[in-house]
């Protein structure tokens, strides 16, 4: 199977694609690519995510409002293995998804809330959902303009949030406890 992709020079880099072990997306195979220390993504998927971030950072003022959802969706969709850092990462990114998607907080306020929550700690490992969500970073990569990019990130973030629905009550409790502790 060979696919075309303008972000990878017109073809899949490294030959045949492989499934990312975090999200299941078919991404370019990469034996030597870099990944993240505790985010559970294949090197090819991490590379695609990097290209999406490049787009956002290249015009950060335009993409600022959606950037945090991009980061949260990716981190929550690639939870990694149980460890203190992975546990906290998944927890705070899911909390920010809750703050933005369910409570409708603007990015700055949701980010401040996430930072407050992360300093509170007390998180436990949440068993990842059987399916990490039906939309992946590949959906965002295919956006043709900023409006479509934003719409696709929102769809992706919603899909990831829904995938974690079995843990929504725990996530809401963590957010509420931290917010009470900070008098919010």
- Residue 184 has what pLDDT? 53
What is the residue-wise DSSP string for 134-159?
S--HHHHHT--SHHHHHHHHHHHHHH
Q: What is the pLDDT tens value at each position of the chain, 184 positions in all? A: 223 333 333 344 456 799 999 999 999 887 767 777 789 999 999 999 999 999 999 999 999 999 999 999 999 999 999 999 999 999 999 999 999 999 999 998 888 888 888 877 789 999 999 999 999 999 999 999 999 999 999 999 999 999 999 999 999 999 887 666 555 5
Cα separations in angstroms, 58 against 5, 35, 111? 20, 21, 21
Q: Which two tokens stand for residue 5?
A: 């992709």
Provide CB contacts within 8 A for 29, sequence distance 6+: 12, 14, 15, 16, 17, 18, 44
- Residue 57 has what pLDDT? 97
Cβ atoms of 67 and 84 within 8 Å: the answer is no
Give pTM, 2 decimals: 0.88
Domain boundaries defined on the chain: 34-181
3-state helix, strand, coil in the chain (%, to 5): 60, 5, 35
């Amino acid at each position: 199977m060979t696919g075309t992709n303008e972000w990878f020079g017109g073809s899949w880099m490294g030959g045949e694609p492989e499934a990312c072990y975090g999200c299941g997306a078919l991404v370019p195979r990469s034996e030597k690519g870099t990944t993240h220390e505790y985010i559970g993504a294949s090197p090819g998927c991490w590379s695609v995510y990097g290209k999406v971030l490049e787009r956002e950072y290249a015009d950060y003022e335009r993409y600022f409002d959606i950037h945090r959802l991009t980061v949260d969706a990716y981190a929550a969709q690639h939870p990694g293995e149980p460890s203190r850092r992975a546990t906290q990462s998944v927890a705070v990114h899911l909390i920010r998804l809750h703050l933005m998607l369910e409570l409708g907080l603007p990015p700055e306020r949701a980010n401040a809330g996430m930072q407050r929550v992360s300093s509170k700690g007390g998180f436990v490992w949440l068993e990842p959902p059987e399916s990490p969500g039906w939309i992946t970073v590949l959906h965002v990569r295919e956006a043709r303009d900023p409006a479509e990019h934003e719409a696709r990130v929102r769809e992706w973030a919603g899909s990831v949030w829904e995938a974690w629905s079995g843990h929504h009550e725990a996530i809401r409790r963590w957010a509420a406890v931290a917010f009470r502790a900070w008098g919010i």
